[in-house]
Structure 1
């Protein structure tokens, strides 16, 4: 099943009229890790969809590897540019399924012009929801500095005491499947929960976004990235947050104005941040950058702060989510091949 947060629907246009190369039922899966490749082969065999896993990320230079298949699967880790889409189209590809909920890495307008359909997949919202709660707890209990101290055999207690979630108000921005799962978990901690969404659907107290920003001790972001949500938490809104408040982002990096966040953290206005996604993460996250200049000064400054937790876009990275992603990718492609894609 394809899914999306905050009512976002996948771009859906049928193939153009120009002749297509002959094809056979099957899927080329680009950017596959070893466990993804194994899962695709195993589940593809069971569902009757042959899969050709490719370790390399898709690009214009290797799009020919998909020739003979109308369907390809791509990762969220790589931008799918117009040049790549054109090369895929020339190879006979008509359907692209991203192994993610978000579409922001794909040039959807170009895909539409080329007559290519684009789909996404749903996966266990619990993976990201669990991780979000973990980041909240780590942030308010100053886990980063505690772990650093104990790693160097310093077992003294921090001079700053942590906070308990039951004493805090948490604002959840975006209550699709993941945001709603976060709301459900927060209830178990006894904290006050506020929510904001253009399409309210969870059992929560919904308030205007600016109201949520001003009243919350923790603001957690779960909206898709669109032109409207770019820098949703901008300088104006960050400056209106409660003194000592925390920001958690497991959505997309550009939902946050990084420069404004840095200013608020460095001048002591905010208590901290826990970020699984950051602006400009492409080409850095998922790579071994030890001993290298990462080329993202904002990220480097964030990581130097003792009250900022950074993880490399890994909230979704669970065994259950892998199963869901692979299965729903294959089902999407089978539906496309049979002409039943919604």
Structure 2
């Protein structure tokens, strides 16, 4: 029986993977710690390690995994920027991922961030609980008729764009290749400078690579429409956080909704309610009334977790049958 060791395992990971594994029959072992140099030994005896977005899988760790007999790195997420794919290939270790898991889940969460920022429902909820029924300070705007920029039109970006079309928005999109189906629905593909200059709302749905890191920075923020709303449910490294803070302070950035953060691996998926958080940058972000932060929960739906578990185990099964399904290539 092949053994899969899970890192960064949360109670919901255990529940969903154990349920789906009833159809596969693998030996599963779960650890709540992240994959790091000092935790790599926990994979001793495993055929597969299953990791998440904040686990480290650089060349040194991969070398140790190979020495322990690990044959496959199975990402239970779409992103793979935390894995040295070339090092894995050099050590004969396959790398697979879950390229699409309920893209609607992430797209709908982006919309939730957008609508909460706009209509300030989080503030209204707290006010009413304190018997304050005043409307001052809760003014929003009609999303209908606004121009929405979608950066990246993969599965999630497509889902988000379609929702925005349903709101009656003018939707602009940017990607390396235009999606003909979206164009047929009324989406207009454009370049980033034109999008930044005209969009009232911008939502990021692209992977984190060298070419996209800090694509939202001091220079690009300055070219955006004053008061723009920015939503990021993709990867924290797409946004230069300090530049975003500066733009929030001077009003260039009207509001910010993020489900991801550059330094999230030290914070997210943990209960730190009793701790003093040492990250001054996120503390500053949380101080703004026009910023909403959620802790990488955009994927967190029943449908998505079921699909993540099933596709991950199918990837493992295919590997042991001599096939690399959903392979991450160099």
| TM-score, L = length of structure 1 | 0.87
Q: Give the drift of 1:252.
A: 0.6
Task: Tell me which moved more, 116-125 or 291-300.
Answer: 291-300
Aligned residues: 319
Tell me how far apart the structure 1 counterparts of residues 137 and 62 of structure 2 sit (CA, whole Å): 55
Q: 1:58 to 1:278 in 2, by over 3 A?
A: closer
1: CA distance, partners of 2:308 / 2:288:
34
User: For 1:210-237, what per-residue CA distance to the aligned partner results, in whole angstroms no more than 9, with x for missing partners?
Assistant: 1111110000000000000001112111
Q: Where in structure 1 are there 5+ consecutive unaligned residues?
A: 1-23
Aligned-residue RMSD, C-alpha: 1.8
For 2:67, the equivalent position in structure 1 comes to 90
SS at match of 1:100: coil
Q: Which runs of 4+ in 1 moved over 4 A?
A: none
Rounded Cα–Cα distance in structure 2 between residues aligned with 1:30 and 1:81: 15
Report whether the alignment pairs 1:28 with 2:11. Answer: no
Query: Is the CA contact (8 Å cut-off) linking 1:173 and 1:195 kept in structure 2?
Result: yes
Q: 5 Å matches for 1:208-287?
A: 208-287=191-270
How far apart are residue 144 of structure 1 and its match? 4.0
Structure 1 pair 241–151 and aligned structure 2 pair: CA distance change class (3 A): farther
Select 2:154's aligned residue among 176, 188, 192. Answer: 176
| Stretch deviating more after TM superposition (80-89 or 245-254) | 80-89
Q: Is the Cα–Cα contact under 8 Å of residues 63 and 91 in structure 1 kept in the other structure?
A: no
Are 2:180 and 1:197 equivalent residues in the alignment?
A: no
> Could you say what secondary structure the match of 2:131 adopts?
coil
Identify which of 80, 103, 108 aligns with 1:125. Answer: 103
Once the two structures are superposed, what CA deviation does each residue of 1:2-32 show, in whole Å capped at 9, x if it has no partner?
A: xxxxxxxxxxxxxxxxxxxxxx534222222
**Aligned counterparts of 1:150 and 1:194: Cα–Cα separation in 2:** 37
Residue 113 (structure 2) aligns with: 135
SS in 2 for 1:88: helix
Query: Are 1:50 and 2:27 matched, yes or no?
Result: yes
Cα distance change, pair 229–186 in 1 and its aligned pair in 2 (3 A): same
SS of the counterpart of 1:138?
A: helix
Aligned to 2:127: 149
SS of the residue corresponding to residue 231 of structure 1 reads coil
1:269 and 1:61 map into 2 onto residues whose CA distance is: 43
Question: In structure 2, the residue corresponding to 1:87 is in which secondary structure?
Answer: helix
8 Å CA contact 1:183–1:193 kept in 2: the answer is yes
Contact 1:41–1:50 (CA under 8 A) maintained in structure 2: no
CA distance in 2, matches of 1:324, 1:158: 43
In the alignment, which residue of structure 1 is the partner of 2:36?
A: 59
TM-superposed CA distance for 1:86, in Å, is 2.3
Aligned equivalents of 1:56 and 1:195: distance in 2? 38
The answer for the alignment partner of 1:4 in structure 2 is none
Residue 189 of structure 1 deviates from its aligned partner by: 0.8
User: Corresponding residue for 2:139?
Assistant: 161
- 3-state DSSP class of the match of 2:134? coil
Q: TM-score, normalised by structure 2?
A: 0.90
